[in-house]
Structure 1
Amino acid sequence: MTAAPLIRVISFGYGHTGLLDDDGHNVLEPPTADVTLDLRRVLYNPHQDPAMRHLTGLDDTVHAHVLATPGARILALNTAMAAHTLMHQAHPPVVTVAAGCAGGRHRAVSMARAVLDFLTDMSAGGGYRTELVHRDAHRPVLPSSAHR
């Protein structure tokens, strides 16, 4: 039996590039993806607010703050539409979307969640599976100098 096509959405932090993964075996690099969003300069950065700095995009306060950036929701929709379109051209039928910010805790997580929400609606007919991976959301907060 063949698995249904898959769209994988990965959030990550550029600031962790060159460090070892959780197993200590592989050096972290930005994920290989069909669509990559570099969100370091285009979305509100919750790291700048001490009340949100140690939260993640999994927290509703942070998620709402990031998505309040003008154009954020349309960026998520357009990204989902691009992945949805690519799904019908991919061989094998796996499409990866990567969303990166400085630390991979706030903007990337929030955008990945928003993209996945749109993809879930688009795949309601059962055309493909979706998967969400937050690679760096559990890592320590990077220093403010990494967020410039």
Structure 2
Amino acid sequence: MTPRTLTSRLISEEEMTMAAVEIVSFGYLHGAPPVAHLTLDLRQHFKDPHVSPELRYMTAHDEPVRATVLNTPGIAALVEATATAVTAFTTGPSAGKVTVADGCAGGRHRAPTFAMALAERLRRDGLTVAIHHRDLDKPVVQR
């Protein structure tokens, strides 16, 4: 998983409806987590690009942010573990759309980067994935 391979693309309503997995990235400072089968809190354990002045106003759409997040120890293992959990949900006896919510402080760096990495990983397994970044385009939270 390299930072430059991650993409976030707009999806149609039909794709959202047909998706086996929906991933929603968000920022805890912008409101409560969305309802999900799995909710991951990335705030305490992973490097925060917000603390670097040169990255603060960038987002997960920018390669330096993705590189910083994806090179943080533990992120790749968490992507793999989450993919395993999602697969377990999708193969359960009452299978339906599985929703994963992953959050960081502001929703601009760690959460959307993780969401894109997870989507890429799940798509490699043949799952249809819809991704939504709830807070990516909101202003930087001054903290």
Shared fold, TM over 0.5: yes
Letter in 2 for 1:15: L
Aligned with residue 41 of structure 1, among 39, 44, 53: 44
Name which one, 1 or 2, has greater alpha-carbon Rg: 1
Higher helix share: 2
Please name the residue that 1:131 is paired with: 130
Shift in Å at residue 46 of structure 1? 0.3
Aligned equivalents of 1:103, 1:33: Cα separation in 2: 19
C-alpha distance in structure 2 between counterparts of 1:58 and 1:90, whole Å: 37
Count of matched residue pairs: 127
**Of residues 96, 99, 121 in structure 1, which corresponds to 2:102?**
99
CA distance in 2, matches of 1:99, 1:65: 17
Q: Paired residue for 1:89?
A: 92
TM-score normalised over the length of structure 2 = 0.84
Extract unaligned runs of 5+ from structure 1: 18-28
Whole-angstrom distance in 1 between the partners of 2:93 and 2:41 = 23
Q: TM-score, normalised by structure 1?
A: 0.81
Equivalences for residues 1-148 of structure 1 within 5 A: 4=18, 6-17=20-31, 29-89=32-92, 91=94, 93-123=96-126, 128-144=127-143
Cα RMSD of the aligned pairs, angstroms, is 1.5
Residue deviations 1:32-80, cap 9 Å, x none?
A: 1111110001111000001100111121110110111111111011111
Contact 2:89-2:95 at 8 Å conserved across structures:
no
4+ residue segments displaced more than 3 Å: none
How high is the sequence identity, in percent, across the aligned residues?
40
Q: Which residue identity does 1:129 align to in structure 2?
A: T
Question: For the residues of structure 1 that align with 2:78 and 2:116, how far apart are their CA atoms?
Answer: 12
The 3-state SS of whatever aligns with 1:82 is: helix
Check conservation: 2:59, 2:109, Cα contact below 8 A: yes
